[in-house]
Structure 1
Amino acid sequence: MRATLRWAHSDLRTHRGEALFLVLATAGIVMSLLLATALFGYATNPWQRTFTQAHGAHVWLHTGSSTDLGKLTGVEGVEAVAGPYATTATTLATRGTRAAVELRAAPELPRVGRPLLTAGHWLDPGTPHGVVLESSLARALLASPGDTLTLPRSDAKLTIIGVADSPEARYRPGEEAGLVWALPTAVPHPTGQVIGLRLSDPADTDYAVQRAVTILGAGAIGEVSTWQQARAEAQGDNRLLGQVLGLFGLGALVAAGFAVHGAIATRIRGHLRDISVLKAIGFTPSQVVRVFLCQHIAYALFGSVTATAVTETLGGRAPGRLGDAVRMWGILPGHTVAQFAIPSGAVLFIAATTGLAAWRAGRVPPVPGSRPAPATPTGRPRAARSPLRRNLVTGTRRALRLLVPPARSRGPLSAVMRRAIDAGVPAGLVLGWHTAVARPGRSLTTVARLALPLVLIVVAMSAWTTLDRFHSEPQKIGVPAALTVHTHHGLSDTDVRGLLHHDPQVAAVYPGVEVAALVPGQTATIALRGLGTRRSPYPYTLAEGHSPHASDEAVAGQGLLDLLNVRVGDWVRMTVGDQPQILHIVGRSIEPENAGRVISTSLDTLRENDPHITATLYQLRLRPGANPHAVAQRLTEAGHDQLDVHAATNPADELSPLRGVVAGLILVLALIGLVELLTAIGGTIRESDRDLLALKAIGLSPRQITAITMTATGCTALAAFLAAAAIGVPLALWLIDKQGISNGIGAGIAQSPPPALLVLLGTATVLGAAALAALPATRAARRRLADTLAAIA
């Protein structure tokens, strides 16, 4: 045991850099996987915990105020009912911030769908105008208990007495109204009702909705929301962050495993004499295997423990969503199991990948075999050359025969290399290229190991480029308008258009309307939009097909196509109240809102089916360089509180944390690539001891000998980069589009890195590899002949 520890300690002192890189790479990989698990838990468990504690309803049905909802209490499969509650849609304002809300009359704290108070207290008859705000609405309004809310165009004021969490859909400006609970006296003129159904079997949600629609009638139901939609919305981009971290973490783990495997295999080839000595003094094959295996398991174990400790102590202090996820993860049931299972799995995976290489070390014979003698060269006579050129070519050929024995190579010198030498190409470059390609099997293995982290870096760069496109060109990802304006009663369409066109920064105004529609089968609600007119069509972002021109033509998002199981070219039927709408889908649009469950047509088409439809919203396209927030403020002031102006929702705003995640992953992958490069450089230098005598014998200088190793390393890095670019770019486009399809946005959002950025990455890879090889190659080239003879003896 003492001899084993002394040998491991000596090897650690000799290769400190490689050991440090292996530890850091393992730590980065394990940390990525731990953060991915935390984000997955943060994405799913908070909503599930809230739903369970609130005894949440699986289905919420919004109807008119005259509908008899008592019929639903006896529906098969309904376990309990929340409500019905009287509701009214209105707008609340505080500190200059406005929000569309649903004011819900709740005479007492509900038993089903019970709000979970996080601040303040529940409704009290002693405060008749007190209200409780849903937490996401309170955050948007920057409101807290004690603040006062005003109703536009009214002198009524409401006082916030509490803030509560709810498993229902969260507030989204311009898309989803916020939820406010109030006493019935604070809702004097309700315009609708809402009822929640808690089911005995959540899997029967679609069937329960169908039964409710059959009992009440399709025209009675205005909107349907289910627990699956609320859960998917709550998970949102946190789940995407977790998926990205998990994908890259697993890829980096595989790359690190191959890097460690290559490092051990290279060390074994460079330590054949040491291994033979160990066996000669009594080490058994199993002991030799344990020396290499335990050494690298120790590196992986140290890196995993370090990553776990750093994540546990410092992860909660990270800004934004990552810090919240780590803090929340600490109180979840599976936290302890994950903290043990993930590092242990990483260590076991690295141990499995290194086991084969360590087993090969145990098969090394106690007496290393001698290399076969070089064969006598044969060939056709060459034309007369100058004595200097003839000596150089002849010496180079002899050196190559010493470098690569004919029994293990394709030949000492190819025709291309002979012509290169005849043309005056420096011998260092020729010999470096030959070193890189002389042993195809080993060279391809090295290229493959180095290409794996480069492939993941290319994928990460594609994700970064796609996010940049979201910010710089929102019109290409389904957000052509910068502002959305909602109107109130009292302003005609002509007045609103005149007011909007009056602003000099407004380039175009597209009137529209958005209503909730029931899909065929009446199991879910989708968004039906009428935007623009035939004279001024809305600029949809299309991934396939064409924009709607003729009557009854429409475009749909990927989420709607998947929900209805239809394709471009099909006809779909939906119901808006009692009015059916039959539309022909002629294109697929990029729809980042409502999970892609949107079908859009022109406002003229909706008016043909229902002449009473009037525009209630306007999409505004601004002139280049305009400030959306300044324009929104001017329009709000000009509208005298009769216009709600919001900036268009850009999915990039919620994906901003991905930038830091991508940057960190690129650093981890670059670290793994450095480990692989150090391994390749070390193997090349260790195997060049015998070649050093031949190279010096033909008169090559130490600088030329150094150029051989640098050229070989650069060629290997170049081949790895070319392979990574050829594989990584298509893979990145496919992965990003698949993610877009799963989120309902659809394919067509992926963006490959700019060619200049790829060229920069390739240049940095090749030059960095050559620079990394310069110092050890220089030291080896300046080694004394006596030391070289002792090394190969």
Structure 2
Amino acid sequence: MSALSRVVRSGVARRRVQTVVIGLATTMAVTSSVLGGSLLVASTAPFDDAFAEQRGAHLSAVFDAGKATPEQLSVPVDGVTASAGPFPVTTITPSDNGPGRNGAGGQAPGGQAPLTVAGRTDPGGGPVDAVTLTEGEWADEPGELVVSADGPHAHSPTGSAVGRRITLTDGSTLTVVGLARSVSRTADGWVPPSWVTAPESYQVLYRFTAAESVDAGREAVVAAVPADAMTGSQSWLVLKKAADRSVAVFVPFLVAFGVLGLVMSLLVVGNVVAGAVGAGTRRIGILKALGSTPAQVVRAYMAQALIPAAVGTAIGAVAGNLLAIPVLAETEDVYGAVKLTVAPWVNVVVVVGALALVSVTAWVSALRAGRLRTVDAIAVGRTPRPGRGRWAARLTARLPVPRPVGLGLARPFARPARAAAMTAAVLFGATAVTFAVGLASSLNQIQIARDHDAADVTIGVSDPGPQPGSRPGGRPAAAPDPAAVSDVIAAQAGTRAHYRTSRTQVTVTGVAGTTAVVSFTGDATWDGYQLVSGRWFTQPGEAVAPTPFLAATGTEVGDTVTLDDGGKTVTVRIVGDVFEMSNDGMVVLTDAATLTAGNDAKGATHHIAVQPGTDVNTYIDSLNAALAPLGATARPGRSGQASDTIILINSLTATLTLMLVAVAAMGVLNAVVLDTRDRIRDLGVHKALGMTPRQTIAMVIASVVVIGVVGGAVGVPAGVALHGAVLPAMGESAGIGLPASAHAVHSLPELVLLGIGGLLIAIVGASLPATWAARTSTATALRTE
């Protein structure tokens, strides 16, 4: 073993705290980098990967069973490379009066939400739309059902819906035997074809030669089948657009946390190595006196950083991969992907990059060791520059605080560089916590604004409205008369406010595709609709629309747009930008009188607020009794079901924040350990003069109070500024405008508490060194060189 190797091994073994801190800091950095990198890779094209693996359908078409036979739908079509079907399709409606309603076999959230089910013998789908089973088994026998893992019926009150019995309105039952996912969103569920004895329609799935030319392919399909047979269709481009918009939210968030973690880890590693050089000045002088060259000294101190960094990198890579497993599993649900794994090249890039950055950081710090003159290093040792910090000691001596506390408060000014490094670590920790708390609060406000579900009771509401990629086809059940239902609601005791909405599809001049128009009867301003800008409509002819619609039409608040409703054109003035995410943002909200055909349209939904003190369950029972002759059923509102995307971002925020706080605390711990070792003889003198262990702990803790206060005071505004930069970027990436409530989430008391959090980080980091200093005996401290 060479002399240099022995120096390195001795340094690593002797400075255990330094070794552990470098290892843990690197572990945290690599873990978060692997996790963040994996999610960034997963965010690049999750839908495209899943679509390719499942052989997704470029066009999902539904045909009226009364106008086309399976033979007529199986004819070759120009431009079609593969097709699957025709599959028999029917719509089923669960009943509220089935067995196990409130138990393990209870109904899924969504109550009587109808399901469009397709008859398939196996999940393979042939050359198109290979449905992936995520749980359970495929439905092989009549009476068995596989439901979509992305739908409201995939869960029961006890968790998974597998094993749950669904009672239908005709008294028959279906047993859920599995959950499955179709990247093409072709159905809400699948049953054996023999179960669909009288199909309402047939579904055929197509893949085209030119995947982007869906409109041309659809025209070719229409020309090849009987006239007016096609009743609905869905393009894969709509699904792709919605998926990409959802994924884009993650990129600014991951970049922000990635930069924070990288900078903090480099800061901690650099400070640890720099502290090791400062604390080992005398040792460096001895090494040079024994013949070590400056280059050898630099390599020795670089190696002392690289050895624990290499171990930390290995542990971090393993931890990152393990942590990525459940996170990517959640991401699969959010993205609708088939299988997401950590890309091997992500591990390689992170490992090589981490070691390279540690090497550069350690080299910069160790270079100072190589430049030290032998005589100066031996003579000075670890003694601080004479006179440094005396003014602070004199000032704190006059403060009305115990003397040990005063000595601690003055200590940072004796080592300003080290104090600055600790302050930077606390600052980044406070920034991370402030940013995380603000982001979580903003996402909560976005969830509230998205749901706008302040209604206590709803009628006819099974989901927030047509969603991007919602499956076409199916024949809805007959709906009750909306005006009659409104009259019953108004006459019901305990009703405080109510309104109803109906939807219709229109075209907009200059915009391809259709736009949903939501017509309102009654005042809906109490139900949680939030505006990005402008105001709510107050009269016919006015409307509000979300940012995606304004972007697609090239309009702003104050402009007019023309809506074409089956040949009838209506011009509306946009008076507000509303936060509304249904129908991929292509939606207009207006008064029912604006579109004369929309006021009494079938399929209306009703939203009800009850009087304060009214029991909602009793109100619903009474209202349902009055609604029974009309065939309508009221249900509790306020689902409160959080978005999977928001849950995932909150989970990642908590995980990454804890990592950053841990790194910040370790940076403080290492610096306090070095400072305590530098002052070991002073501690011995203090103890000899009567300083008790509690006073010693108070002195060491007090030495980081100023650092914690300053770091928190600067870190909190930095976190607020980071939140103010990242949140709009997340909204722009998703193509949506965010309401004011999502931005204004920081209150003064909360900011004060977050500032105190910076102080807590510093105190936590200093607690162990303070305990160690208190336990050191007086004789040992006085004998230490």
Q: Residue 368 of structure 1 aligns with which residue?
A: 376
Matches within 5 A, 1:260-659: 260-310=269-319, 321=330, 335-368=343-376, 402-404=386-388, 413=391, 436=412, 444-467=420-443, 469=445, 474=448, 478-486=452-460, 489=478, 491-500=480-489, 507-521=496-510, 523-533=512-522, 540-607=529-596, 613-614=601-602, 616-622=604-610, 639-640=627-628, 642-643=632-633, 645=635, 647=637, 650=640, 652-654=642-644, 655-659=646-650
For 2:224 and 2:522, locate their aligned partners in 1 and report how far apart those are by CA, in whole Å. 37
Q: Which moved more, 1:20-29 or 1:279-288?
A: 20-29
For 1:436 and 1:628, locate their aligned partners in 2 and report how far apart those are by CA, in whole Å. 61
For 2:509 and 2:229, locate their aligned partners in 1 and report how far apart those are by CA, in whole Å. 16
Tell me the CA shift for residue 497 of structure 1: 2.6
For 1:783 and 1:73, locate their aligned partners in 2 and report how far apart those are by CA, in whole Å. 93
Q: Residue 654 of structure 2 aligns with which residue?
A: 663
Tell me the CA shift for residue 454 of structure 1: 2.0
Please say if 1:166 is aligned against 2:177. Answer: no
For 2:784 and 2:175, locate their aligned partners in 1 and report how far apart those are by CA, in whole Å. 89
CA contact (8 A) 2:531 2:577 kept: yes
Q: Residue 467 of structure 2 aligns with which residue?
A: none
For 2:165 and 2:366, locate their aligned partners in 1 and report how far apart those are by CA, in whole Å. 69
Instruction: Flag the 1:585–1:227 CA change in 2: closer, same or farther, 3 A.
Output: same
For 1:291 and 1:692, locate their aligned partners in 2 and report how far apart those are by CA, in whole Å. 30
Q: Residue 469 of structure 2 aligns with which residue?
A: none
Q: Residue 30 of structure 1 aligns with which residue?
A: 30
For 2:334 and 2:602, locate their aligned partners in 1 and report how far apart those are by CA, in whole Å. 44
For 1:779 and 1:167, locate their aligned partners in 2 and report how far apart those are by CA, in whole Å. 58
For 1:210 and 1:161, locate their aligned partners in 2 and report how far apart those are by CA, in whole Å. 38
For 2:352 and 2:488, locate their aligned partners in 1 and report how far apart those are by CA, in whole Å. 65
CA contact (8 A) 1:131 1:162 kept: yes
Secondary structure of the structure 1 residue equivalent to 2:454: coil
Q: Residue 723 of structure 2 aligns with which residue?
A: 732
For 2:732 and 2:229, locate their aligned partners in 1 and report how far apart those are by CA, in whole Å. 33
CA contact (8 A) 2:120 2:190 kept: no
Please say if 1:721 is aligned against 2:720. Answer: no
> Which structure: larger Rg?
1
Report Cα offsets for 1:688-719 as digits up to 9, x if no partner: 689999x98xx998999987765452212211
Report Cα offsets for 1:183-229 as digits up to 9, x if no partner: 59947584x7866553434455588789999999xx99986643244
Q: Residue 756 of structure 1 aligns with which residue?
A: 749
CA contact (8 A) 2:88 2:199 kept: no
Report Cα offsets for 1:256-312 as digits up to 9, x if no partner: 111111111122122111111112212222322222222222222222322343455
Q: Residue 468 of structure 2 aligns with which residue?
A: none
CA contact (8 A) 2:545 2:574 kept: yes
Instruction: Flag the 1:622–1:41 CA change in 2: closer, same or farther, 3 A.
Output: farther
Write the letter of the residue equivalent to 2:388: V
Q: Which moved more, 1:87-96 or 1:13-22?
A: 87-96
Per the normalisation by structure 1, the TM-score is 0.74
Tell me the CA shift for residue 166 of structure 1: 1.9
Secondary structure of the structure 1 residue equivalent to 2:303: helix
For 2:666 and 2:400, locate their aligned partners in 1 and report how far apart those are by CA, in whole Å. 35
For 1:451 and 1:522, locate their aligned partners in 2 and report how far apart those are by CA, in whole Å. 49
Instruction: Flag the 1:234–1:510 CA change in 2: closer, same or farther, 3 A.
Output: same
Tell me the CA shift for residue 86 of structure 1: 7.9
Tell me the CA shift for residue 37 of structure 1: 4.9
Of the three residues 129, 132, 149, the one matched with 1:114 is 129
Tell me the CA shift for residue 545 of structure 1: 0.6
Instruction: Flag the 1:491–1:778 CA change in 2: closer, same or farther, 3 A.
Output: closer
CA contact (8 A) 2:125 2:131 kept: no
Tell me the CA shift for residue 634 of structure 1: 7.4
Instruction: Flag the 1:786–1:193 CA change in 2: closer, same or farther, 3 A.
Output: closer
Tell me the CA shift for residue 678 of structure 1: 2.3
Matches within 5 A, 1:772-787: 773=766, 776=769
Tell me the CA shift for residue 88 of structure 1: 6.1
Report Cα offsets for 1:378-437 as digits up to 9, x if no partner: xxxxxxxxxxxxxxxxxxxxx9993229xxxxxx749xx988877878887777666545
The alignment-based identity, stated in percent, is 22
Matches within 5 A, 1:202-217: 202-204=211-213
CA contact (8 A) 1:572 1:583 kept: yes
For 2:263 and 2:180, locate their aligned partners in 1 and report how far apart those are by CA, in whole Å. 44
Instruction: Flag the 1:350–1:225 CA change in 2: closer, same or farther, 3 A.
Output: farther
Instruction: Flag the 1:513–1:648 CA change in 2: closer, same or farther, 3 A.
Output: farther
For 1:560 and 1:39, locate their aligned partners in 2 and report how far apart those are by CA, in whole Å. 29
Instruction: Flag the 1:522–1:666 CA change in 2: closer, same or farther, 3 A.
Output: closer
For 1:437 and 1:308, locate their aligned partners in 2 and report how far apart those are by CA, in whole Å. 39
Of the three residues 115, 139, 146, the one matched with 1:101 is 115
For 1:400 and 1:314, locate their aligned partners in 2 and report how far apart those are by CA, in whole Å. 44
In the alignment, structure 1 segments of 5+ residues that lack a partner are 172-177, 373-398, 406-411
CA contact (8 A) 2:384 2:415 kept: no
Tell me the CA shift for residue 629 of structure 1: 8.1
CA contact (8 A) 1:104 1:187 kept: no
Tell me the CA shift for residue 451 of structure 1: 1.3
For 1:658 and 1:18, locate their aligned partners in 2 and report how far apart those are by CA, in whole Å. 33
CA contact (8 A) 2:61 2:233 kept: yes
For 2:378 and 2:176, locate their aligned partners in 1 and report how far apart those are by CA, in whole Å. 88
Write the letter of the residue equivalent to 1:404: R
Write the letter of the residue equivalent to 2:372: V
Secondary structure of the structure 2 residue equivalent to 1:661: helix
Q: Which moved more, 1:256-265 or 1:73-82?
A: 73-82
Secondary structure of the structure 1 residue equivalent to 2:440: helix
For 1:114 and 1:466, locate their aligned partners in 2 and report how far apart those are by CA, in whole Å. 37
Secondary structure of the structure 2 residue equivalent to 1:252: helix
Q: Which moved more, 1:62-71 or 1:429-438?
A: 62-71
Write the letter of the residue equivalent to 1:486: G
In the alignment, structure 2 segments of 5+ residues that lack a partner are 102-106, 462-476
Instruction: Flag the 1:134–1:527 CA change in 2: closer, same or farther, 3 A.
Output: same
CA contact (8 A) 1:569 1:584 kept: yes
Tell me the CA shift for residue 29 of structure 1: 3.5
For 1:253 and 1:275, locate their aligned partners in 2 and report how far apart those are by CA, in whole Å. 30
- CA RMSD between the two structures: 5.3
Write the letter of the residue equivalent to 1:114: D
Q: Residue 766 of structure 1 aligns with which residue?
A: 759
Report Cα offsets for 1:487-520 as digits up to 9, x if no partner: 8636323442355457666543211112344454
Instruction: Flag the 1:201–1:755 CA change in 2: closer, same or farther, 3 A.
Output: farther
For 2:524 and 2:161, locate their aligned partners in 1 and report how far apart those are by CA, in whole Å. 43
